[in-house]
Amino acid sequence: MESNTVTPHDRAEELRSKRREAESGSLRATEAQHAKGKLTARERIGLLLDAGSFKEVEQLRRHRATGFGLEAKRPYTDGVITGWGTVEGRTVFVYAHDFRIFGGALG
Say if residues 76 and 22 touch (Cβ distance below 8 Å). yes
Residue 55: half-sphere exposure toward Cβ, Cα within 13 Å = 6
Element (H, E) at 86: strand 80-87
Is the pLDDT score of 73 beyond 80? no
62 band by pLDDT with thresholds 50, 70 and 90: confident
pTM score, whole prediction:
0.70
**Which has the higher per-residue pLDDT, 8 or 104?**
8
Element (H, E) at 95: strand 90-97
pLDDT for the residue numbered 67: 78
Say if residues 107 and 60 touch (Cβ distance below 8 Å). no
Beta bridge partner(s), residue 43: none
Distance, in Å, from the CA atom of 40 to the CA atom of 63, rounded to the nearest integer, reads 21
Domains located in the chain, CATH noted: 8-104 (3.90.226.10)
